[in-house]
Structure 1
């Protein structure tokens, strides 16, 4: 009866072919929006990462042969975690556009005090920002953005192979996108800010024309009501802006992964 014999090299190769991709997939799921929030338990994310890794491993290029206890293996694991975290942070920047936009509108309309605990991140955010975050999450799932992310993640094992090293321009690209986030948030809420500015100027003219008018008791509730109306009107034009920003964010993710 023949006995199956396995060498240390074979075992290390099999372990590396699964463990190294698992760390990259897990890092993405732990940092990306929707799946990487506290609403999804860490155990569920880990199970999801295991399932994705099992599915994509057969189609991945060969992994380098490493010993699980070598320093090289630890460096490769750190490399995969950093690459996955970069992908997740790139998507986080896209979602933060709408969070910042909601904060700007809330300040202009006098609702900055109306904040609530964001159950996804565990921090206090304006109610307007929370509403936009929920809306963007639903739209992202509706356009299958999460499937595009998993597709880019799978292609990244070919375009950014394990052991290929990290490039400095990946970090510079991520830092350079901070300006894009602020600019996109300002452009998104520019109509609402302009309309609210006109309202505030009108209140200033009223105060100048009738000094006896108590603008503080009248202006605050009117600004709040008009701000809600203006925000509701500007929501009618949010879909084209969302598609443009989502396309740009997903294309940047492909460029970050050097995918097609």
Structure 2
């Protein structure tokens, strides 16, 4: 019969379970891998596989009693660190979702929404197009591999048991302004062009009041909006590259990786 002493259980908890909590928190909150598109069981298997690969390379961690209060505090810290990393990556995707909402409202497609399978909510069709495009770019540019690399480095730069610095995570609050500014920069060309189109229709209605501007302006606004969106997508790769690079740099800075 296999018997485990208290010290052996504490060493096992220190070597694997704390690592598993941080990795699992990242995989449950990060985009693509942490969405509803990937079943929970697959995410759990992936977290276990990464834990088996990363845990032997983790520096020495403190050995504590498995049922002590300090152990639960460290578990909460690991979940917080992993969730913060995943949340920072989610901001990169929400930039394009918000930009799609702004463009859709301006071109009259704000009411046209569809279910987003990754988040389980209804979003504008334009936002869904941007989400699918950004997801493909994220995978094509090996963004998920970079995240796993930063996650493995975080156990060296931010080891298990180290006290958290609140200032490091306060930067997440400051990133909301970055999300809003980046979304406006992406959608500003389309919004400006559609505003000019709407002003032109206003001048036409002023010059010819008998013209039914609603029956003519709405379909033309949609057509111009789709054309402008087609032109806008031609430069989405360069914009995404800059935003993704900035987000990954902030991710490294948050855990102290270089």
Instruction: Answer yes or no: same fold by TM over 0.5.
Output: yes
Deviation at 1:5, TM superposition (A): 8.4
1:1-260 equivalences under 5 Å are: 7-260=5-258
- What is the CA deviation profile of residues 183-207 of structure 1, one whole-angstrom value per residue up to 9, with x for unaligned ones? 0000011111111111011101101
How far 1:38 sits from its partner (Å)? Answer: 1.1
Change (3 A) 1:153 1:230: same
Matched residue of 2:123: which SS?
Answer: strand
Long gaps (5+) in structure 2: none
Contact 2:23–2:51 under 8 Å retained in 1 = yes
Structure 1: where are the runs of 5+ without partners?
A: none
Q: Determine the C-alpha separation between the residues in 2 that align with 1:172 and 1:7.
A: 41
Secondary structure, aligned partner of 1:56? helix
- How many residues matched? 257
- Which consecutive segments of 4 or more residues in structure 1 shift more than 3 A? 4-7
Q: How many Å apart are 1:7 and its aligned residue?
A: 4.2
Instruction: Report if aligned partners of 2:150, 2:257 keep a CA contact under 8 Å in 1.
Output: yes
C-alpha spacing 1:5/1:43, structure 2 compared with 1 (3 Å):
closer
The alpha carbon displacement at 1:6 in A equals: 6.1
Residues in 1 aligned to 2:211 and 2:151: alpha-carbon distance in whole angstroms = 61
- Write the deviation string for residues 142-197 of structure 1: whole angstroms up to 9, x where unpaired: 11011110111111111111111211113310000000000000001111111111
TM (norm. structure 1) is 0.96
Whole-Å separation in 2 of the counterparts to 1:226 and 1:63: 60
State the Cα distance separating 1:33 from its structure 2 match: 0.5
Report the TM-score, using the length of structure 2 for normalisation: 0.97
What is the root-mean-square deviation of aligned Cα atoms in Å?
1.2
Deviation at 1:87, TM superposition (A): 0.2
